[in-house]
A = this chain, B = another copy of it.
Amino acid sequence: MTTTSINIRLTHKSYLREPESTELGRRIISESVRLIDELGFEQFTFKKLAAEIGSTEASVYRYFENKHKLLVYLVSWYWAWLDYSVTLRVQNIDNPRERLIRAILAITTAAQEDDPTVDYIDERMLYRIVLAESTKVYHTKEVDSENQDGYFMEFKNLCDRMARMTLAINPAYPYPHALMSTVLEAAHQQMFFARHLPSLTEICEAQHLREENTTFLKHLVFSAIEPQEANLTT
């Protein structure tokens, strides 16, 4: 049996002990994804998590200092994984417009693929967590010191990769990073709005949810960076 073992590596240490390296660590990750998706981050506690995996609160604390750092780990893992997915989908493609189109498609659909990258992480559940909880990782009073510790590198890397793709199309566009941080956040927001606050968007749960989101974002990006030839069917 040949399984391609892909290892998503994080550049920072939001954990105390590496969770991938032990059985308990992996169960902490997979069960916390399940529990946060089920309860929401506010109702999620290490006590409930420990009960779920048949371990103790103290043991969980050996892997993560607190639940905020666990969320940082999960969200960072997602961005690193998405960055990897984007890289895969654009490799061997030379046309800069085609590259950017594929990258946007990766962002809106990567989490819907059937076979998981690592067996103990359910990417669809993690995607739902990112939709609902990811902005909480940087909306804290500790944002500056956590930024210094490299906690947001994975998101910045992806943003920068996308920004460089836009510059390959139009080197004169003055706001590539601003555009791409906006698009990355909007890709998630619109999905969340479609589900919970539908009057904030035309993207609709009932019909072609992800396709509509992709079309909206592609149009937004391409009309911003190449105003002359933008159209809705690119």
Contacts and interface: CB of A to CB of B under 8 A. Distances in A.
A223 to B, nearest CB: 5
A227 interface: yes
Contacts of A197: 138, 143, 147, 152, 156
A58 interface: no
B189 A181 contact: yes
Interface residues of A, number: 51
Given A224-B223, A227-B223, A230-B227, A193 B181 contact: yes
A201 interface: yes
A171 interface: no
Interface in A92-140: 132-133, 135-136, 138-140
Contact of A189 (B40, B182, B216, B224): B182
Nearest to A131: B139
Contacts of A201: 175, 177-178, 181
Interface of A: 39-40, 42-43, 132-133, 135-136, 138-141, 143-144, 147, 152, 155-156, 159-160, 174-179, 181-182, 185-186, 189-190, 192-193, 196-197, 199-203, 216, 219-220, 223-224, 227-228, 230-232
